[in-house]
């Protein structure tokens, strides 16, 4: 099973933080992206390989009235040796 990278996990956490701050639910995010609430749950779960793509982040920024940069870490994220990187 493919694992999420530390960078991907950081992006997902940033989306979750903005979502929580702006009081959006996983159901809201699913509606914005025309995805299922279950799929959003899979994205937010570190044990599942599902993740957001760049188009998702752009659409979320539009819907949540923020910048796509709000979902990115301020500095590079180190990956552990031996982890698969794309």
Kindly state whether residue 74 falls inside one of the protein's structural domains: no
Helix (H, G, I), strand (E, B) or coil at 83: coil
Task: Identify the H or E element spanning 13.
Answer: helix 6-21
pLDDT tens digits, one per residue of 23-80: 999 999 999 999 999 999 999 999 999 999 999 999 999 999 999 999 999 999 998 7
What is the pTM (predicted TM-score) of this model? 0.89
Q: Residues 21, 58, 11, 75: what is their CA dihedral angle, to the nearest 10 degrees?
A: -100
Q: Residues 2, 28, 14, 54: what is their CA dihedral angle, to the nearest 10 degrees?
A: 60
Q: Is the pLDDT of residue 82 over 80?
A: no
Domain that holds residue 24: 6-66
CATH number, domain containing residue 10: 1.10.260.40
- Which of 45, 44, 46 is closest to 56 using CA atoms? 44
């Amino acid at each position: 099973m493919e694992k999420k990278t530390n960078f991907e996990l950081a992006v997902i956490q940033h989306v979750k933080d903005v979502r929580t701050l702006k009081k959006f639910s996983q159901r809201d995010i699913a509606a914005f992206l025309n995805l299922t609430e279950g799929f959003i749950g899979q994205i937010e779960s570190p044990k599942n390989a599902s993740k957001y793509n760049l188009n998702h982040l752009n659409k979320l920024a539009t819907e949540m009235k923020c910048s796509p940069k709000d979902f990115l870490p301020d500095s590079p994220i180190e990956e552990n040796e031996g982890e698969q990187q794309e």
